[in-house]
Chains A and B, each alone.
Chain A
Amino acid sequence: MSADHKTTQLDAPLSETTRTVTLVTWKTVGVLLVVTVLYALLLIAVPHSGDTRFLLSQRSDFFQIPVIVVPAAPFAWACGAVMLAVTAVAVVLTARGRRTPLWLVVIYSLAGLAGFLAWAGAGSPRDLSIVGLLGGAVLWSVPFVYGALGGVIGERSGVVNIAIEAQLLGAAFTAAIVSSITNSAFAGLFAAVFAGALVALVLGLFAITYHVNQVIVGVVLNVLVVGLTSFLYSQVLVPSAETLNSTTRFASIPIPVLSDIPVLGPVLFDQPLPIYLMFIAVPTVWYTLNRTRWGLRLRAVGEHPKAADTVGIDVVRTRYNAVLVAGAVAGLGGAFYTTVYLSQFGENMTGGAGYIALAAVIFGKWDPIRSAFAGLLFGFASNLQNVLSVVGSPVPSQFMLMVPYVVTLLAVAGLVGRSRPPAASGEPYIKG
């Protein structure tokens, strides 16, 4: 036989000889069903009548859109019908061995959300501001998105970054001090980047150099930073709050023309600098990970460090680089607390945002853009309570505050589907 002949035989595509079938799980359907039933129960158990007023533009807007008034109960039930329909389609698809496409889940979620808002705002004399709802979501999502980006970068290089919380908190603390002393929000932002990277350096030291289990280091670092910042807060910041803990914040910078677009303008183009930075950071991280040498090597080290080592890539250095960058990016998110949101640091003020960012990483399947959207979703959920309390929502605030966490639970348990973390994530690399 000639060499060519054999080669052809070898290259025969797998599909010629092996069959494949599509396997589906009923997890998604299960979650959709559960949520639909809960939604219906809510409408039945706590019926609301009256109209809901959706406000789409602000008084100051150039273009004025009239307030949309919908009759709450019929509208909510109509949305419920859409949800039911999507669920039915999902059942049919799954029974036929096909996966439920994402866009169906998106339609389902939007319908559920609209219906819920209509129900919650029913009969309220106040308008339900869509701009406030979305703008607040963008604002609230800042620490989640930056934190998730940091988590993605770390994990893609093979280092699980549970210390996002510590990076956010440490950065918020540092930004508060530096911004207060220098009277410059920019200086605070820079300091936050360094603080995030510093926490990451400690993470790297233990996880990369000393091969300590990364989950353990992360959890312990979170405790350490809470202790450290709380200690310094009460020992240093409280006694001299005027000089050390009253920050200069970033002001909103409306972008001309763009900020006049109805609804989207004020949501996206009338924000302070760190938020514009975030809009740039998400695609940048994606590009860097997927299109540059640095990203290729980083991913190689996270998937198969030994293979990277055998082609001359310094695994340890690559991982340190990645972890430091990840910490710096998370640090930007931490700066949000003291240079955008509030003008002072408070004990444990991040309140677990790092853990939510971690959930966004998994929800987003370790992809920067998907994770950023997951972060945005969590931001939206966090903000929902604020908006509804303005309208005078009948739902106890505690349940609204619970929403992001329940959403995460449902997402992690049912909707994420088959996702694969970087193969070497969590594994220390021990040469030889």
Chain B
Amino acid sequence: MLLELRGITKRFGALVANDHIDLVVQPGEIHSLLGENGAGKSTLMNVLYGLYDADEGEILLDGVVQNFSGPGDAMAAGIGMVHQHFMLVPVFTVAENVMLGHEQTRGGGRLDLEAARAQVKEISARFGFHVDPDAVVEDLPVGVQQRVEIIKALSRNADVLVFDEPTAVLTPQETDELMAIMRQLRDEGSAIVFITHKLREVREVADRITVIRHGKVVGEALPTASDAELASLMVGRSVELRVHKGSPQLRDNGLKVANLVVTNEVGTVVVDDISFEVRGGEVLVVAGVQGNGQTELTEALLGLEHNVSGSITLDGEELVGRSVRRILDEGVGFVPEDRTLDGLIGEFTIAENLMLDRSDGPPFVKAGALQLPFRDRFAKEKVAEFDVRTQGITTQVGRLSGGNQQKVVLARELSRDLRLFVAAQPTRGVDVGSIEFIHKRIVATRDAGVPVLVVSTELDEAVALADRIMVMYRGTVVGIVPADTPRDVLGLMMAGISPEDAKGEVA
């Protein structure tokens, strides 16, 4: 089916998320939509999928203007979507998820689960998925969940398939497999829209590339274009993701983790007997695909996990068993993975957020009373120092952009005397300008002699920031390797293959 978008415009108040976007996707081609986070790709696809009404423009399928009032219409017209955040009901089985919305029933209104199972099996067989129709979705690994999403789209005979940032949760190897699936679908005649901001993937799989920036189409490109060309199209200026840093000046102090085991509340061992060391003056990056225990590792360091065994020592002092308060007081700085959930209180002002983890004693509190003049002076200083773009310190943090929010978190954590700095996904959802700033501050902290532990799922960032890289897989440490380890090796390690084997396989 031929998909055409003509002059699609979508506004949210003063913000033009999509500005007269034209796009043509032929059957039997993979058309990549390339753009930075926030360029308007997802908005465009939500318009296509009937989740948003476009303010202007029209959608055509095989030359016929479509009028979608909801996702149901889009699906009926043959559009399927593999969502970035899977649209699966976690407590339902695969078959229930696949049948949802177009259920077949038997007598007495009874759901025909057999038919749904058969459909799952049939599509699985076609693509070699091996998905159990009776498995409960939340028990499946993310890679398999994504396949359920694909099955869901295919079970409705979708001719146009949209993949919205599908590789964010996959290992490099799983990504390769996904691309093979996309090629197979293309060869069967589907029109495929592949939304991403990852240049490497685009060049590998796309037949045509459309680049979007600030809601506008800024150019088209062929997969033969170089990374640099695509990147400058995408960002609007030449980008340098390199971080300038000298060689590490190692000190004797530091963090020592030995035989750490973390169990979550349902009894899964999420960090499985890991040991490592971070010394003052170095950055250890924990790499790996999202959900392999990195989050729980950082939370255990801060005393946020309940079921922890093993030992975490900072400059020889044991941290396991201490309260969060006492660990913070030991000089641990922490940038949580999800700043809106764990790092900030959206309704609080910038000034309040800047004192959030020191709300129980001097200098912000004396005799139980908040020291407002001090707090405000402090906030003004930090806003200036960390270049937080805001109207004033009384602005609610929730109203700041992601980059500025992250700067508030960083300003708070780096303004204490630190003996350890832990940053989880410090640049996620942050604009390019803020990324550079944040990286500089992290390196400055390391150069001040503080041991720094950074968790990153972006291989580029890991390689750029790290002095050493520790790869985690299913809660275990696959290996700790130097920062100049080849990407292919790192990629295989992220799939659980030991560094030795990985090197062998690459070589």
A–B in direct contact per CB < 8 Å: yes
Contact indicator A313/B269 (Cβ below 8 Å): no
Contact of B75 among A304, A312, A431 (CB under 8 A): A312
Asked if B27 CB lies within 8 Å of chain A CBs, one says: no
Whole-angstrom distance between the alpha carbons of A8 and B267 in the complex?
A: 26
CB of A291, distance to nearest CB on chain B (Å): 5
Whole-angstrom distance between the alpha carbons of A431 and B51 in the complex?
A: 8
Known: A14-B141, A17-B496, A292-B110. 7 other contacts (CB 8 A): A11-B144, A21-B263, A21-B267, A297-B103, A307-B100, A312-B70, A312-B73
With A293-B105, A297-B100 as given contacts, are A310 and B49 in contact (CB-CB < 8 Å)? Answer: yes
Contact indicator B268/A313 (Cβ below 8 Å): no
Whole-angstrom distance between the alpha carbons of A8 and B99 in the complex?
A: 25
With A3-B177, A7-B177 as given contacts, are A300 and B267 in contact (CB-CB < 8 Å)? Answer: no
Asked if A311 CB lies within 8 Å of chain B CBs, one says: yes
- Interface residue tally of chain A, by bracket? 35 or more
Asked if A427 CB lies within 8 Å of chain B CBs, one says: no
Contact indicator B111/A293 (Cβ below 8 Å): yes
Contact indicator A21/B101 (Cβ below 8 Å): no
Contact residues of B between 448 and 507, Cβ < 8 Å to A: 473-476, 495-496
Asked if A294 CB lies within 8 Å of chain B CBs, one says: yes
Tell me the A residues contacting B by CB distance below 8 Å: 3-4, 6-11, 14, 17-23, 291-294, 296-297, 299-300, 303-304, 306-314, 418, 423, 431-432
Scoring B52, B109, B476 by chain A CB atoms within 10 A of each residue's CB, the highest score goes to B109
A to B CB contacts below 8 Å, 26 in the list? A3-B177, A3-B180, A6-B174, A6-B176, A7-B129, A14-B139, A17-B473, A17-B476, A23-B266, A292-B111, A293-B103, A296-B92, A300-B89, A300-B92, A303-B89, A304-B87, A304-B89, A304-B90, A306-B87, A307-B86, A307-B88, A309-B51, A312-B71, A312-B72, A423-B90, A432-B52
Whole-angstrom distance between the alpha carbons of A308 and B268 in the complex?
A: 29
Whole-angstrom distance between the alpha carbons of A4 and B127 in the complex?
A: 9
Contacts of B81 in A (CB 8 A): 310
Asked if B394 CB lies within 8 Å of chain A CBs, one says: no
- Interface residue tally of chain B, by bracket? 35 or more
Contact indicator B474/A311 (Cβ below 8 Å): no
Closest to A307 in B: B87
Q: How many A-B residue pairs have CB under 8 A?
A: 132
Contact indicator A312/B90 (Cβ below 8 Å): no
Whole-angstrom distance between the alpha carbons of A306 and B144 in the complex?
A: 20
CB of A19, distance to nearest CB on chain B (Å): 4
Whole-angstrom distance between the alpha carbons of A3 and B183 in the complex?
A: 12
Contact residues of B between 235 and 281, Cβ < 8 Å to A: 263, 265-270, 272
Contacts of A312 in B (CB 8 A): 70-73, 75-76, 101-102
With A3-B128, A21-B267 as given contacts, are A10 and B143 in contact (CB-CB < 8 Å)? Answer: yes
Contacts of A291 in B (CB 8 A): 110-111
Contact of B128 among A7, A17, A293 (CB under 8 A): A7
Contact indicator B100/A311 (Cβ below 8 Å): yes
Contacts of B87 in A (CB 8 A): 304, 306-307, 310-311
Asked if B83 CB lies within 8 Å of chain A CBs, one says: yes
Contacts of A6 in B (CB 8 A): 173-174, 176-177
CB of A346, distance to nearest CB on chain B (Å): 40
Contacts of B130 in A (CB 8 A): 7-8, 11
Asked if B226 CB lies within 8 Å of chain A CBs, one says: no
Contact indicator A18/B272 (Cβ below 8 Å): yes
Asked if B371 CB lies within 8 Å of chain A CBs, one says: no
Contacts of A297 in B (CB 8 A): 100-101, 103
Contact indicator A19/B177 (Cβ below 8 Å): no
Whole-angstrom distance between the alpha carbons of A23 and B143 in the complex?
A: 27
Contact of B109 among A10, A293, A310 (CB under 8 A): A293
Asked if B91 CB lies within 8 Å of chain A CBs, one says: yes
Whole-angstrom distance between the alpha carbons of A235 and B89 in the complex?
A: 51
Contact of B96 among A11, A296, A306, A431 (CB under 8 A): A296
Contact indicator B144/A23 (Cβ below 8 Å): no
Contact indicator A303/B90 (Cβ below 8 Å): yes
Contact indicator A432/B101 (Cβ below 8 Å): no
Contact of B263 among A23, A296, A432 (CB under 8 A): A23
Closest to B109 in A: A292
Contact indicator A432/B51 (Cβ below 8 Å): yes
Contact indicator A310/B71 (Cβ below 8 Å): yes
Whole-angstrom distance between the alpha carbons of A87 and B475 in the complex?
A: 37
CB of A395, distance to nearest CB on chain B (Å): 40
Asked if B323 CB lies within 8 Å of chain A CBs, one says: no
Contact indicator B103/A311 (Cβ below 8 Å): no
Whole-angstrom distance between the alpha carbons of A8 and B131 in the complex?
A: 10
Contacts of B144 in A (CB 8 A): 10-11
Contact indicator B269/A18 (Cβ below 8 Å): yes
Asked if B66 CB lies within 8 Å of chain A CBs, one says: no
CB of A4, distance to nearest CB on chain B (Å): 5
Contact indicator A10/B52 (Cβ below 8 Å): no
CB of A26, distance to nearest CB on chain B (Å): 14
Contact indicator B272/A23 (Cβ below 8 Å): no
Scoring A7, A306, A310 by chain B CB atoms within 10 A of each residue's CB, the highest score goes to A310
Whole-angstrom distance between the alpha carbons of A11 and B495 in the complex?
A: 13
CB of B97, distance to nearest CB on chain A (Å): 8
Contacts of B139 in A (CB 8 A): 14
Contact indicator B111/A308 (Cβ below 8 Å): no
Contact indicator B101/A313 (Cβ below 8 Å): yes
CB of B484, distance to nearest CB on chain A (Å): 26
Contact indicator A296/B111 (Cβ below 8 Å): yes
Contacts of B131 in A (CB 8 A): 11
Contacts of A9 in B (CB 8 A): 173, 495
Contacts of B88 in A (CB 8 A): 304, 307
Contact indicator B100/A296 (Cβ below 8 Å): yes
Contacts of A299 in B (CB 8 A): 89, 92
